[in-house]
Amino acid sequence: MKNKTGHDRSITRTWRPATQAVRGGTLRSEFGETSEAMFLTSGYSYDVAETAAARFRGDDAGMTYSRLQNPTVAMLEERLCLMEGAEACRAQASGMAAMTATLLAQLSAGDHMVAARALFGSCRWLADSLLPRLGVEVTVIDGRDLGAWERAIRKDTKVCFLETPANPTLEIIDIPGVAERAHAVGARLVVDNAFATPILQRPLDMGADVVAYSATKMMDGQGRVLAGAVLGDEAFINDVLLPFQRNTGPILSPFNAWVVLKSLETLSLRVHHQSANALKVASFLDTRLPRLLYPGLTSHPQHDLAMQQMTAGGTIMALFFDDRPQAHAFLDALELIDISNNIGDSRTLCTHPASTTHYGISEEARADMGITEGMLRMSIGLEDPEDLIEDLDPALRTVGL
Protein backbone atom coordinates (compact mmCIF):
# COMPACT_ATOMS: atom_id res chain seq x y z
CA MET A 1 0.00 0.00 0.00
CA LYS A 2 1.35 3.42 -0.91
CA ASN A 3 1.51 6.09 1.77
CA LYS A 4 0.75 9.78 1.18
CA THR A 5 4.09 10.53 -0.45
CA GLY A 6 3.91 7.57 -2.82
CA HIS A 7 6.12 5.14 -0.85
CA ASP A 8 5.16 1.50 -0.97
CA ARG A 9 5.84 0.36 2.59
CA SER A 10 4.82 -3.28 2.16
CA ILE A 11 8.12 -3.83 0.32
CA THR A 12 10.54 -1.43 2.02
CA ARG A 13 9.61 -2.40 5.59
CA THR A 14 11.09 -5.87 5.09
CA TRP A 15 14.49 -4.64 3.90
CA ARG A 16 17.47 -5.05 6.19
CA PRO A 17 19.10 -1.88 7.58
CA ALA A 18 21.95 -1.65 5.05
CA THR A 19 19.46 -1.82 2.17
CA GLN A 20 17.19 0.78 3.76
CA ALA A 21 20.12 3.18 4.21
CA VAL A 22 20.82 3.11 0.47
CA ARG A 23 17.38 2.61 -1.08
CA GLY A 24 14.77 3.34 1.58
CA GLY A 25 12.42 6.16 0.61
CA THR A 26 13.68 6.58 -2.95
CA LEU A 27 11.12 8.11 -5.32
CA ARG A 28 12.03 8.05 -9.02
CA SER A 29 10.82 10.67 -11.42
CA GLU A 30 9.78 10.02 -15.03
CA PHE A 31 13.50 10.09 -15.99
CA GLY A 32 14.42 7.01 -13.92
CA GLU A 33 17.45 8.67 -12.27
CA THR A 34 19.53 6.32 -10.07
CA SER A 35 20.65 8.99 -7.59
CA GLU A 36 17.76 10.76 -5.85
CA ALA A 37 16.72 14.02 -7.51
CA MET A 38 16.80 17.38 -5.78
CA PHE A 39 13.48 19.14 -6.22
CA LEU A 40 14.21 22.82 -5.74
CA THR A 41 10.65 24.01 -6.08
CA SER A 42 8.52 26.04 -3.74
CA GLY A 43 5.22 25.21 -5.43
CA TYR A 44 3.42 22.72 -7.70
CA SER A 45 1.10 23.23 -10.66
CA TYR A 46 -2.15 21.42 -11.39
CA ASP A 47 -3.53 20.14 -14.71
CA VAL A 48 -7.02 21.38 -13.91
CA ALA A 49 -8.54 23.52 -11.16
CA GLU A 50 -10.38 20.54 -9.69
CA THR A 51 -7.03 18.80 -8.95
CA ALA A 52 -5.95 21.80 -6.87
CA ALA A 53 -9.27 21.73 -5.04
CA ALA A 54 -8.98 17.98 -4.41
CA ARG A 55 -5.47 18.36 -3.01
CA PHE A 56 -6.54 21.08 -0.61
CA ARG A 57 -9.54 18.99 0.45
CA GLY A 58 -7.16 16.06 1.11
CA ASP A 59 -8.84 13.80 -1.48
CA ASP A 60 -5.76 13.79 -3.73
CA ALA A 61 -2.35 12.91 -2.23
CA GLY A 62 -0.33 15.24 -4.50
CA MET A 63 1.82 18.09 -3.25
CA THR A 64 0.70 21.72 -2.91
CA TYR A 65 3.48 23.87 -1.44
CA SER A 66 6.97 23.09 -0.15
CA ARG A 67 6.24 24.32 3.37
CA LEU A 68 3.85 21.37 3.47
CA GLN A 69 5.47 18.74 1.22
CA ASN A 70 8.50 18.37 -1.05
CA PRO A 71 9.63 15.18 -2.85
CA THR A 72 13.29 15.41 -1.77
CA VAL A 73 12.35 16.13 1.84
CA ALA A 74 9.80 13.28 1.70
CA MET A 75 12.54 10.87 0.58
CA LEU A 76 14.69 11.86 3.57
CA GLU A 77 11.74 11.49 5.96
CA GLU A 78 10.86 8.04 4.65
CA ARG A 79 14.48 6.82 4.82
CA LEU A 80 14.78 8.07 8.40
CA CYS A 81 11.52 6.28 9.33
CA LEU A 82 12.85 3.03 7.95
CA MET A 83 16.22 3.39 9.71
CA GLU A 84 14.63 4.34 13.04
CA GLY A 85 11.75 1.86 12.90
CA ALA A 86 9.27 4.74 13.28
CA GLU A 87 5.79 5.14 11.78
CA ALA A 88 6.29 8.75 10.73
CA CYS A 89 8.90 11.49 10.46
CA ARG A 90 9.06 15.21 9.72
CA ALA A 91 12.36 16.79 8.75
CA GLN A 92 13.20 20.12 10.39
CA ALA A 93 15.32 23.16 9.57
CA SER A 94 17.88 22.33 12.29
CA GLY A 95 18.25 20.25 15.42
CA MET A 96 16.95 23.13 17.53
CA ALA A 97 13.96 23.55 15.20
CA ALA A 98 13.27 19.85 15.86
CA MET A 99 13.48 20.23 19.66
CA THR A 100 11.45 23.47 19.72
CA ALA A 101 8.71 22.12 17.44
CA THR A 102 8.51 18.85 19.39
CA LEU A 103 8.01 20.66 22.70
CA LEU A 104 5.87 23.63 21.60
CA ALA A 105 3.59 21.40 19.53
CA GLN A 106 2.47 19.46 22.61
CA LEU A 107 2.90 21.80 25.61
CA SER A 108 0.50 24.56 26.68
CA ALA A 109 0.47 27.06 29.53
CA GLY A 110 -0.22 25.22 32.78
CA ASP A 111 1.41 21.95 31.64
CA HIS A 112 4.39 20.36 33.37
CA MET A 113 7.59 18.95 31.85
CA VAL A 114 10.42 17.03 33.51
CA ALA A 115 13.84 17.40 31.86
CA ALA A 116 17.19 15.82 32.56
CA ARG A 117 19.72 18.49 33.59
CA ALA A 118 22.40 17.34 31.14
CA LEU A 119 21.10 18.84 27.90
CA PHE A 120 22.61 20.60 24.89
CA GLY A 121 22.95 24.32 25.76
CA SER A 122 20.01 25.53 23.66
CA CYS A 123 17.82 22.65 24.89
CA ARG A 124 18.57 23.84 28.44
CA TRP A 125 17.51 27.34 27.34
CA LEU A 126 14.16 25.94 26.13
CA ALA A 127 13.70 24.23 29.51
CA ASP A 128 14.99 27.07 31.69
CA SER A 129 13.78 30.16 29.80
CA LEU A 130 11.36 29.74 26.88
CA LEU A 131 8.90 27.20 28.28
CA PRO A 132 8.58 28.86 31.73
CA ARG A 133 8.01 32.21 29.95
CA LEU A 134 5.08 30.61 28.12
CA GLY A 135 3.61 29.26 31.33
CA VAL A 136 4.94 25.70 31.18
CA GLU A 137 6.38 24.54 34.49
CA VAL A 138 9.66 22.67 34.08
CA THR A 139 11.40 20.50 36.68
CA VAL A 140 15.07 19.84 35.90
CA ILE A 141 16.59 16.77 37.55
CA ASP A 142 19.63 14.48 37.53
CA GLY A 143 18.46 12.21 34.72
CA ARG A 144 20.71 9.33 35.81
CA ASP A 145 18.63 8.87 38.96
CA LEU A 146 15.37 6.99 38.28
CA GLY A 147 14.18 7.96 41.77
CA ALA A 148 14.50 11.63 40.78
CA TRP A 149 12.25 11.01 37.74
CA GLU A 150 9.75 9.25 39.96
CA ARG A 151 9.69 12.15 42.45
CA ALA A 152 9.45 14.83 39.74
CA ILE A 153 6.77 13.23 37.52
CA ARG A 154 3.26 14.37 38.50
CA LYS A 155 -0.27 13.67 37.32
CA ASP A 156 -0.13 16.79 35.11
CA THR A 157 3.27 15.95 33.58
CA LYS A 158 2.86 15.94 29.80
CA VAL A 159 6.45 15.46 28.62
CA CYS A 160 9.69 13.92 29.87
CA PHE A 161 12.70 15.15 27.89
CA LEU A 162 16.21 13.72 27.89
CA GLU A 163 19.38 13.26 25.90
CA THR A 164 21.53 10.12 26.19
CA PRO A 165 24.49 10.13 25.97
CA ALA A 166 24.24 13.77 27.01
CA ASN A 167 26.12 16.65 25.45
CA PRO A 168 28.83 17.25 26.65
CA THR A 169 28.92 15.36 29.96
CA LEU A 170 28.19 11.92 28.47
CA GLU A 171 25.72 11.03 31.18
CA ILE A 172 23.71 7.92 30.29
CA ILE A 173 20.00 7.75 31.08
CA ASP A 174 17.98 4.55 31.42
CA ILE A 175 15.47 4.95 28.55
CA PRO A 176 13.13 2.04 29.45
CA GLY A 177 13.18 3.11 33.12
CA VAL A 178 12.12 6.68 32.34
CA ALA A 179 9.59 5.53 29.71
CA GLU A 180 7.85 3.32 32.26
CA ARG A 181 7.59 6.19 34.77
CA ALA A 182 6.40 8.67 32.13
CA HIS A 183 3.77 6.30 30.79
CA ALA A 184 2.41 5.65 34.29
CA VAL A 185 0.92 9.19 34.18
CA GLY A 186 0.27 9.28 30.42
CA ALA A 187 3.25 11.55 29.65
CA ARG A 188 5.28 11.26 26.44
CA LEU A 189 9.01 10.52 26.56
CA VAL A 190 11.01 12.60 24.07
CA VAL A 191 14.63 11.52 23.46
CA ASP A 192 17.27 13.69 21.75
CA ASN A 193 19.32 10.93 20.08
CA ALA A 194 21.92 13.07 18.29
CA PHE A 195 24.97 11.48 19.92
CA ALA A 196 24.06 7.85 19.29
CA THR A 197 22.11 8.05 15.98
CA PRO A 198 19.73 5.20 15.02
CA ILE A 199 22.82 3.13 14.17
CA LEU A 200 23.89 2.79 17.82
CA GLN A 201 20.63 3.29 19.71
CA ARG A 202 16.91 3.05 18.87
CA PRO A 203 14.97 4.78 21.66
CA LEU A 204 11.52 3.92 20.20
CA ASP A 205 12.31 0.22 20.65
CA MET A 206 13.09 0.97 24.33
CA GLY A 207 9.80 2.72 25.06
CA ALA A 208 10.39 6.33 23.98
CA ASP A 209 7.46 8.00 22.19
CA VAL A 210 9.31 10.61 20.16
CA VAL A 211 12.91 10.78 18.91
CA ALA A 212 14.32 14.14 17.85
CA TYR A 213 17.56 14.75 15.99
CA SER A 214 20.08 17.28 15.04
CA ALA A 215 20.89 15.81 11.59
CA THR A 216 23.66 18.42 11.41
CA LYS A 217 25.87 16.03 13.34
CA MET A 218 26.56 12.40 12.34
CA MET A 219 23.70 12.26 9.82
CA ASP A 220 25.24 14.87 7.53
CA GLY A 221 28.56 13.74 8.96
CA GLN A 222 30.71 16.06 6.90
CA GLY A 223 30.01 19.40 8.54
CA ARG A 224 28.06 20.94 5.64
CA VAL A 225 24.42 21.63 6.45
CA LEU A 226 22.11 22.21 9.39
CA ALA A 227 19.16 19.86 9.56
CA GLY A 228 16.87 18.12 12.02
CA ALA A 229 14.15 15.50 12.25
CA VAL A 230 11.36 14.34 14.57
CA LEU A 231 10.11 10.75 14.53
CA GLY A 232 7.24 9.03 16.31
CA ASP A 233 3.92 7.38 15.69
CA GLU A 234 1.51 8.70 13.07
CA ALA A 235 -0.83 10.13 15.69
CA PHE A 236 1.90 12.32 17.17
CA ILE A 237 3.59 13.36 13.93
CA ASN A 238 0.45 13.98 11.88
CA ASP A 239 -1.97 15.28 14.51
CA VAL A 240 0.30 17.03 17.04
CA LEU A 241 3.53 18.05 15.31
CA LEU A 242 2.34 18.69 11.78
CA PRO A 243 -0.26 21.42 12.46
CA PHE A 244 2.42 23.32 14.43
CA GLN A 245 5.11 22.82 11.81
CA ARG A 246 3.01 23.60 8.74
CA ASN A 247 1.74 26.83 10.21
CA THR A 248 4.97 28.06 11.82
CA GLY A 249 7.36 26.93 9.05
CA PRO A 250 10.64 25.52 10.50
CA ILE A 251 10.96 23.28 7.43
CA LEU A 252 14.11 21.81 5.88
CA SER A 253 15.22 23.13 2.50
CA PRO A 254 15.23 20.50 -0.28
CA PHE A 255 18.94 21.16 -0.84
CA ASN A 256 19.84 20.40 2.77
CA ALA A 257 17.47 17.42 2.76
CA TRP A 258 19.26 16.04 -0.31
CA VAL A 259 22.69 16.40 1.32
CA VAL A 260 21.54 14.49 4.43
CA LEU A 261 19.65 11.91 2.35
CA LYS A 262 22.82 11.04 0.42
CA SER A 263 24.84 10.95 3.67
CA LEU A 264 22.49 8.38 5.21
CA GLU A 265 23.81 5.88 2.65
CA THR A 266 27.12 5.83 4.58
CA LEU A 267 25.86 6.62 8.11
CA SER A 268 26.38 3.10 9.46
CA LEU A 269 29.89 2.84 7.96
CA ARG A 270 30.89 6.21 9.40
CA VAL A 271 29.36 5.72 12.86
CA HIS A 272 30.96 2.31 13.31
CA HIS A 273 34.36 3.43 12.00
CA GLN A 274 34.39 6.66 14.00
CA SER A 275 33.31 4.77 17.14
CA ALA A 276 36.19 2.33 16.66
CA ASN A 277 38.58 5.28 16.22
CA ALA A 278 37.11 6.92 19.33
CA LEU A 279 37.69 3.76 21.37
CA LYS A 280 41.38 3.72 20.31
CA VAL A 281 41.86 7.40 21.11
CA ALA A 282 39.98 7.13 24.43
CA SER A 283 42.06 4.11 25.49
CA PHE A 284 45.18 6.20 24.89
CA LEU A 285 43.87 9.29 26.70
CA ASP A 286 42.61 7.25 29.66
CA THR A 287 46.21 6.40 30.56
CA ARG A 288 47.33 10.04 30.46
CA LEU A 289 44.52 12.24 31.75
CA PRO A 290 43.41 12.48 35.37
CA ARG A 291 39.84 11.95 34.14
CA LEU A 292 38.21 10.96 30.85
CA LEU A 293 34.61 10.09 30.08
CA TYR A 294 33.89 7.79 27.15
CA PRO A 295 30.85 5.45 27.31
CA GLY A 296 32.77 2.67 25.54
CA LEU A 297 35.38 2.38 28.31
CA THR A 298 34.85 0.54 31.60
CA SER A 299 36.17 3.67 33.38
CA HIS A 300 32.87 5.43 32.50
CA PRO A 301 30.70 5.10 35.63
CA GLN A 302 27.69 4.05 33.54
CA HIS A 303 29.53 1.88 31.03
CA ASP A 304 27.24 -1.13 31.63
CA LEU A 305 24.04 0.86 31.03
CA ALA A 306 25.60 2.52 27.96
CA MET A 307 26.42 -0.89 26.48
CA GLN A 308 22.90 -2.17 27.24
CA GLN A 309 21.37 0.68 25.24
CA MET A 310 23.99 1.24 22.53
CA THR A 311 25.85 -1.11 20.23
CA ALA A 312 29.12 0.88 20.57
CA GLY A 313 30.50 3.74 22.66
CA GLY A 314 29.89 6.46 20.08
CA THR A 315 32.15 9.12 18.63
CA ILE A 316 32.36 11.65 21.48
CA MET A 317 34.35 11.91 24.70
CA ALA A 318 34.99 14.42 27.47
CA LEU A 319 38.54 15.24 28.63
CA PHE A 320 39.10 16.79 32.04
CA PHE A 321 42.02 19.13 32.74
CA ASP A 322 42.66 21.02 35.98
CA ASP A 323 41.37 24.41 34.86
CA ARG A 324 40.60 26.65 31.88
CA PRO A 325 44.22 27.80 31.24
CA GLN A 326 45.43 24.19 31.02
CA ALA A 327 42.49 23.16 28.78
CA HIS A 328 43.01 26.17 26.49
CA ALA A 329 46.80 25.55 26.32
CA PHE A 330 46.11 21.94 25.30
CA LEU A 331 43.70 23.06 22.57
CA ASP A 332 46.23 25.61 21.30
CA ALA A 333 48.94 22.93 21.10
CA LEU A 334 46.88 20.71 18.75
CA GLU A 335 47.98 20.82 15.12
CA LEU A 336 45.85 18.27 13.29
CA ILE A 337 42.70 18.32 15.42
CA ASP A 338 40.64 21.48 14.92
CA ILE A 339 39.36 23.73 17.68
CA SER A 340 35.68 23.71 16.73
CA ASN A 341 32.39 23.57 18.60
CA ASN A 342 30.72 21.29 16.03
CA ILE A 343 30.51 17.51 16.45
CA GLY A 344 29.81 14.52 14.23
CA ASP A 345 32.14 15.63 11.42
CA SER A 346 34.55 13.40 9.50
CA ARG A 347 37.22 15.69 11.00
CA THR A 348 38.18 15.37 14.65
CA LEU A 349 37.04 18.49 16.50
CA CYS A 350 37.66 19.64 20.05
CA THR A 351 36.01 22.42 22.06
CA HIS A 352 35.88 23.99 25.51
CA PRO A 353 32.13 23.86 26.35
CA ALA A 354 32.23 26.33 29.28
CA SER A 355 33.39 29.14 26.96
CA THR A 356 31.54 28.05 23.78
CA THR A 357 28.52 25.71 23.48
CA HIS A 358 27.47 26.12 27.13
CA TYR A 359 28.64 29.73 27.59
CA GLY A 360 25.03 30.96 27.47
CA ILE A 361 23.76 29.00 30.46
CA SER A 362 24.39 30.08 34.04
CA GLU A 363 27.59 29.08 35.82
CA GLU A 364 25.43 27.42 38.46
CA ALA A 365 23.62 25.28 35.85
CA ARG A 366 26.97 24.41 34.26
CA ALA A 367 28.39 23.26 37.59
CA ASP A 368 25.21 21.28 38.27
CA MET A 369 25.63 19.54 34.89
CA GLY A 370 29.28 18.69 35.55
CA ILE A 371 30.72 21.08 32.96
CA THR A 372 33.92 22.18 34.65
CA GLU A 373 36.27 24.96 33.58
CA GLY A 374 38.87 22.33 32.64
CA MET A 375 36.56 20.16 30.53
CA LEU A 376 36.98 19.64 26.77
CA ARG A 377 34.65 17.76 24.43
CA MET A 378 36.19 15.90 21.50
CA SER A 379 34.33 14.47 18.51
CA ILE A 380 36.37 11.81 16.72
CA GLY A 381 36.42 11.72 12.92
CA LEU A 382 37.56 9.43 10.14
CA GLU A 383 41.28 10.24 10.25
CA ASP A 384 43.75 7.46 11.07
CA PRO A 385 43.59 7.14 14.90
CA GLU A 386 47.39 6.84 15.02
CA ASP A 387 47.67 10.34 13.54
CA LEU A 388 45.19 11.61 16.13
CA ILE A 389 47.24 10.04 18.95
CA GLU A 390 50.42 11.53 17.48
CA ASP A 391 48.72 14.95 17.65
CA LEU A 392 47.37 14.46 21.18
CA ASP A 393 50.57 13.10 22.72
CA PRO A 394 52.77 16.22 22.30
CA ALA A 395 49.83 18.49 23.24
CA LEU A 396 49.46 16.58 26.53
CA ARG A 397 53.21 16.98 27.16
CA THR A 398 52.93 20.73 26.48
CA VAL A 399 50.58 21.00 29.48
CA GLY A 400 52.66 18.73 31.67
CA LEU A 401 50.73 15.45 31.26
Ligand X SMILES: *Cc1c(COP(=O)(O)O)cnc(C)c1O
Who contacts 288 (Cβ-Cβ below 8 Å, separation ≥6)? 396, 401
d(CA 58, CA 242) in angstroms, rounded, equals 15
DSSP element (H, E) containing 158 = strand 157-163
Per CB under 6 A, which of residues 315..374 are in contact with ligand X? 343
Q: Is 226 in the site for ligand X (CB under 6 A)?
A: yes
Single-letter amino acid code for the residue at 300: H
User: Which backbone phi and psi does 362 adopt, to 5 degrees?
Assistant: -65, 155
Residue among 120, 244, 294, 330 that touches ligand X (CB under 6 A):
120
Furthest-apart CA atoms within the chain: distance in Å: 75
Minimum CB–partner distance for residue 341 and ligand X (Å) = 9
Q: Is 191 in the site for ligand X (CB under 6 A)?
A: no
Q: Total residues at the site for ligand X (CB under 6 A)?
A: 16
Q: Is 100 in the site for ligand X (CB under 6 A)?
A: no
Q: What is the CA radius of gyration of the chain?
A: 22
Q: Is 96 in the site for ligand X (CB under 6 A)?
A: yes
**Beta carbons of 229 and 89 less than 8 angstroms apart:** yes
- Nearer to ligand X among residue 216 and residue 372 (C-beta): 216
**Beta carbons of 349 and 334 less than 8 angstroms apart:** no
- Nearer to ligand X among residue 343 and residue 392 (C-beta): 343
Minimum CB–partner distance for residue 28 and ligand X (Å) = 30
d(CA 133, CA 30) in angstroms, rounded, equals 50
Question: Which residues is 141 bridged to in the sheet?
Answer: 116
Q: Kindly write down the DSSP assignment for every residue of 197-236, as one continuous string.
A: HHHH--GGGGT-SEEEEETTTTTT-SS----EEEEE-HII
Minimum CB–partner distance for residue 224 and ligand X (Å) = 12
In 295-352, alpha helices (H): 303-309, 324-333
Residue among 163, 171, 174, 220 that touches ligand X (CB under 6 A):
163
Residue among 20, 66, 94, 275 that touches ligand X (CB under 6 A):
94
Q: Is 231 in the site for ligand X (CB under 6 A)?
A: no
Q: Is 275 in the site for ligand X (CB under 6 A)?
A: no
Residue among 173, 194, 282, 318 that touches ligand X (CB under 6 A):
194
Q: Is 274 in the site for ligand X (CB under 6 A)?
A: no
- Nearer to ligand X among residue 197 and residue 214 (C-beta): 214
Q: Is 192 in the site for ligand X (CB under 6 A)?
A: yes
Minimum CB–partner distance for residue 18 and ligand X (Å) = 25
Please state whether 166 falls in left (phi above 0), alpha (psi between -120 and 50) or beta. beta
Binding mask 287-326 for ligand X (x = CB under 6 A): ----------------------------------------
Contact stretch for ligand X (CB under 6 A) within 16-24, 27-35, 92-100, 327-335: 92-100
CA distances for 54 relative to 59, 70, 108, angstroms: 5, 18, 33
Which residue's Cβ lies closest to ligand X? 95
CA dihedral angle for residue 268, residue 68, residue 212, residue 269, rounded to 10 degrees: 10
Instruction: Using the Cα atoms of residue 26, residue 28, residue 34 and residue 37 in order, give the sign of their dihedral.
Output: negative
DSSP element (H, E) containing 259 = helix 254-264
Minimum CB–partner distance for residue 214 and ligand X (Å) = 3
- Nearer to ligand X among residue 97 and residue 279 (C-beta): 97
Q: Is 95 in the site for ligand X (CB under 6 A)?
A: yes
Q: Is 157 in the site for ligand X (CB under 6 A)?
A: no
Q: Is 78 in the site for ligand X (CB under 6 A)?
A: no
Q: Residue 99: helix, strand or coil by DSSP?
A: helix
Contact stretch for ligand X (CB under 6 A) within 109-117, 210-218, 240-248, 255-263: 210-218
Residues near ligand X (CB under 6 A): 94-96, 99, 120, 123, 163, 167, 192, 194, 214, 216-217, 226, 228, 343
